[in-house]
Structure 1
Amino acid sequence: MTIQFVRRRLLASAAALAAARTMAARPVLAQPATKAVGALDLVVAARAPTTPTGLTLSKDGRMFLFMPRFDETTVFTAGELSPDGRVVPYPSEAANRPDPSRPAETLFHVPNGVFDRNNRLWLLDAGLMASSGEPAPGAAKLVCIDPATNRILRTISLQSVVTKTSSLNDLRVDVRPGREVAYVTDQGQDGEGALIAVDLASGRAVRRLAGHASTRSVPGLLKIVEGRVLLKRAADGTTSPIEGGANGIALSPDGKRLYYTPLMSRRLYAVETAALLDAGQDDAAVAATVTDLGEKGLTGGLIADSRDRLYLSLQEFNGIGRRDPDGRIELLATDPRLIWPDTFWITGDGWLYLSSAQANRRPEHNGGIDRQERPYAIFRTRIDAGPA
């Protein structure tokens, strides 16, 4: 079914934004939407067993969901979604049974996966057995799968670039003539994030910008989702703040800039990918290429289109925003059923897909009570561009 939305000025939410204070190296101008970009469609109600934070589509339209292993209720962490809403383990049920004795061969905690330009599926495995705790030795990795055969083609270990408090979160893969690289965010369980750059040809990975202001959780930041302050809420009534470092990432169309933001931050940053990948550059040299692009609201996932515009999962507004290269931001759509919009994907025929993950309704935010409502909604909207 199709739900029509009347786009409204982002300035209508100025009171909430002002309360969170406007911080910009240059003004970010809130603008009304100036061109119809299509309706927001409910594509499918996914009968996923638990919180689907990640989503991607193959060139022939197969859709895959990724469900991090937050706790023991996670039945499987990577799945394929059928048009009727069924979600089955992918690439197999056996591969989704985490085995610490076979860390390179089994999937532990997959928050996201993406297709490259050659239609190969890359999975990011954080190697966790729960939402916290040290990654299992050897379990943090990238896994490349051929969707035509459902066979695992390659596994690249990330053991050398994770720490005891790592929580790998998002992934972008850039494959073009003369380049095969990947970029990963580590949001850190303590909010101390980092970026990871991987040369896919050699398997060499480097950890970058750990401890830098652009990858760290901002203390004291207030995040309101569905009219409620987001906190960790234990069953005994105690609360603690949310911490989340480098989280969402997006790649510019030319592959020269990586956009990123901490989960608990309103600011958007960019860094030169050449510096991230250059083993001869130290972190100070990499940091010199970081640009603060100003405020963009509180978001989860990011993605760039072929016009270098960034789509923003505006979780406080249950909506989708878009940032133009000149810094202007517009609110494209909002709906109360778009609960914790998370991961985006853009198809070659100009559809923007995103998941409604309901992460704020998980037990850890609600005194041990699971308030998620199954099935999980997957939406899409027409845009006037293709993927970056």
Structure 2
Amino acid sequence: MMLRLARRTLLAGTASLAAAPAIAAGRALAQPSTGPHGALDLVVAARAPTTPTGLTLSGDGRMFLFMPRFDEKTVFTAGEVFPDGRVVPYPSEAANRPDPARPEATLFHVPNGVFDRTNRLWLLDAGLMASSGAPVPGAAKLVCVDPGTNRITRTIPLQSVVTETSSLNDLRVDVRPGREVAYITDQGQTGEGALIAVDLASGRAVRRLADHASTRSEEGILKIVEGRVLRKRAEDGTTSPIKGGANGIALSPDGARLYYTPLMSRRLYAVETAALLDAAQDDAAVARTVEDLGEKGLTGGLSADARDRIYLSLQEFNAIGRRDPDGTVEVLATDPRLIWPDTFWITDEGWLYLSSAQANRRPEHNGGIDRQEPPYAIFRMRIDSGPA
């Protein structure tokens, strides 16, 4: 793989966010610079209750954030963001109150959500009540919301494809003539990940590549974020390594390949979606379609554009990267406010949106001390393509 570095410091943000100094507190503001297609703009300072790992936008520009229920501070797990930074429970406050007696009807732990081509919002619910522990029986699911009425229209259970140590993480939905499918990553709580493919028409879900090297956390990986080695750090001073299996995913423009990577891995992989979906093929047959695409850095979220280029949330460098189809990787933008860049969203108008989740500042990485500094920054950058 050829690596081409083009790091740039970027625009400090829009004037409307002057009232949000916490985002840049204690850090030098980035200086203006022109990127290949535009500067990185700070769009909104979101007053989310806790770590916003997921981000999506509707066709008419409504913005939504998703905050996994890592602990009791997660008062709601899915929210809509308003221009003034308010984040309110979505689709309702009642839907965000997890109820083990009604697991199919309430939201527990939503790490991400996406809009499909028909402007339906799909929420991925991992069914967890904390960062670890078994999913609540019946709570793991896909939830479809009509943004026109703000009502849940369908729920697809995922109980059959989760395990006692599952941690469902990311979601892509592919709706086109003759195809309505979803792909999910399970990063696992012990680093043993998997991919899940769902036929949305029938609701049939299959768990794939659970024992494959491409979905597992790699041993010995050193991840440094904001100048500090990332580890689990308990209040008593003990530490343990981070484990994270299949995490970020992206779809090729034709929907034929799913790109994915473990959280703790520098490798990018691809697998044929036809194999994932074909119930007649066993895991060995699916594994034969896996391709190791090489080094891409340590990342969280991924996204692909219409030119089959993959955007990379380079968490070690507070940066946005991009991998071209020939394997070339370029660092498009860096900014000290990009603290744990996570989920991307690409609009039809050629805007790349990105959340700054601050997950490395959570208590479990800091001896029980919460070092997150709300509000949480949402950025966007002009690119020369639309979504895949």
1:45 aligns with 2:49: no
The one-letter code sitting in structure 2 at the alignment partner of 1:252 is S
Segments of structure 2 that go 5 or more residues without pairing to the other structure are 8-33
Determine if contact 1:252/1:258 at 8 Å carries over to the other structure: yes
Distance 1:29 1:227 in 2: 22
For 1:32 and 1:63, the matched residues in 2 are separated by: 30
Tell me how far 1:200 sits from its aligned partner.
0.2
Q: What SS does the corresponding residue of 2:317 show, helix, strand or coil? A: coil
Q: Secondary structure of the residue that 2:160 maps to in structure 1? A: helix
Deviation sequence 1:270-292 (CA, Å, 0-9, x none): 00000000000000000000000
Which string of whole-angstrom CA distances, capped at 9 and with x for unpartnered residues, describes residues 252-304 of structure 1? 00000000000000000000000000000000000000000000000000000
Alignment of 1:51-66 (within 5 A): 51-66=51-66
Residue type matched to 1:199 in 2?
Answer: D
Identical-pair percentage: 86
- Cα distance in 2, alignment partners of residues 35 and 365 from structure 1: 33
List per-residue Cα deviations over 1:327-351 (Å, max 9, x = no partner): 0010000011110000000001000
Q: Is the 8 A contact 1:186 1:196 kept in 2?
A: yes
Query: Counterparts of 1:28 and 1:218 in 2: how far apart (Å)?
Result: 22
Are the counterparts in 1 of residues 35 and 332 from structure 2 also a CA contact under 8 Å?
no
Rate the CA distance shift 1:351–1:303 in 2: closer, same or farther, 3 A: same
1:133 aligns with: 133
The SS at the match of 1:360 is helix
> d(CA) in 1 for partners of 2:291 and 2:4?
21
Contact 2:36 2:332 in 1 (8 A): no
CA contact (8 A) 2:77 2:110 kept: yes
- Tell me which residue corresponds to 2:85: 85
2:223 aligns with: 223
How do 1:211-290 residues align onto structure 2 when only pairs under 5 Å count? 211-290=211-290
Counting only pairs closer than 5 Å after superposition, residues 312-327 of structure 1 correspond to structure 2 as 312-327=312-327
Q: Deviations for 1:307-359, whole angstroms, at most 9, x for unmatched residues?
A: 00000000000000000000001000001111000000000100000000000
- Paired with 1:32 and 1:84, the residues of 2 have a C-alpha distance of 33
Report the secondary structure of 1:379's partner residue: strand
CA apart distance, 1:167: 0.1
Task: Tell me if the contact between 2:77 and 2:96 (Cα under 8 Å) persists in the aligned partners.
Answer: yes
Q: Give deviations 1:140-170, integer Å, cap 9, x for gaps.
A: 0000000000011110000000000000000
1:343 is matched with which residue? Answer: 343
> C-alpha separation between the residues in 2 aligned to 1:44 and 1:35?
20
Letter in 2 for 1:338: L
Matched, 1:378 2:378: yes
1:316 is paired with a residue whose SS is helix
CA positional deviation for 1:220: 1.1
**CA shift for structure 1 position 35:** 7.1
Q: Distance in 1 between matches of 2:328 and 2:35?
A: 14
Whether the 8 Å CA contact 1:352–1:383 is kept in 2: the answer is yes
Q: Which residue identity is paired with 2:119?
A: N
Task: Tell me if the contact between 1:31 and 1:328 (Cα under 8 Å) persists in the aligned partners.
Answer: no
- Correspondence 1:151 to 2:186: no
TM-score by length of 2: 0.92
Q: Does the Cα contact within 8 Å between 2:68 and 2:111 map onto a contact in 1?
A: yes
Q: The residue matched to 2:64 in structure 1 has which SS?
A: strand
Which 4+ residue blocks in structure 1 deviate beyond 4 angstroms?
Answer: none
What is the TM-score when the length of structure 1 is the normalising length? 0.92
Q: How far apart are 1:106 and its partner, in Å?
A: 0.1
Match of 2:304 in 1: 304
1:28 equivalent to 2:25? Answer no
- Look up the match of 1:181: 181
Deviation digits for residues 200-254 of structure 1 (CA, Å, limit 9, x no counterpart): 0000000000010000000111000000000000111000000000000000000
Residues 179-212 of structure 1, C-alpha deviations (whole Å, 9 max, x = no match): 0000000000000000000000000000000010
Equivalent residue of 1:261, what SS?
Answer: strand
Task: State how far apart, in whole Å, the 1-side matches of 2:3 and 2:82 are.
Answer: 41
- 2:4 partner SS: coil
Measured on the aligned residues, the alpha-carbon RMSD in Å equals 1.0
Q: CA deviation at 1:44?
A: 0.3
Deviations 1:83-139 (A, max 9, x none): 000000000000000000000000000000000000000000000000000000000
Answer yes or no: is 1:366 the counterpart of 2:366: yes
Question: Counterparts of 2:2 and 2:116 in 1: how far apart (Å)?
Answer: 32
User: Residues of 1 paired with 2:163 and 2:319: CA distance?
Assistant: 34
Cα distance in 1, alignment partners of residues 206 and 110 from structure 2 = 20
Query: Which residue identity lines up with residue 309 of structure 1 in the other structure?
Result: R
Deviation at 1:32, TM superposition (A): 3.7
**Structure 1 equivalent of residue 14 of structure 2:** none
Q: Which residue of 2 aligns with 1:203?
A: 203
Aligned length: 362
Letter in structure 2 aligned against 1:362: R
**Alpha-carbon deviation of 1:29?**
3.0
Contact 2:346 2:387 in 1 (8 A): yes
Alignment correspondent of 1:6: none
